[in-house]
Amino acid sequence: MTKKAVRAPGSRAKLRDYFLRNVGKVLNSKTLGKVAGTSEWGRRVRELRNEEGMNIVTHNDRSELKPGEYLLVDTKPLPAFERGISKELRAFVLDRNGFTCQMCGIAAGEPQIADGGRKARLHIGHIIDKSMGGQDEASNLRAICSVCNEGASNLTLNRPEAIKLLAQIRRAPGKDQIDVLRWLLKKFPTQASAIIKNNS
CA distance 150 to 152: 6
What is the C-alpha separation between 108 and 139, in angstroms, rounded? 21
The pLDDT tens digits of the residues spanning 93-140 come to 999 999 999 988 888 888 877 667 778 888 888 888 766 777 888 999
Report the CATH fold assignment for 11-78.
Answer: Arc Repressor Mutant, subunit A (1.10.10)
pTM given for the model: 0.45
Domain ranges of the chain: 11-78, 81-151, 162-198
**In the chain, which residues have pLDDT < 70?**
1-6, 79-84, 114-115, 130-131, 150-160, 200
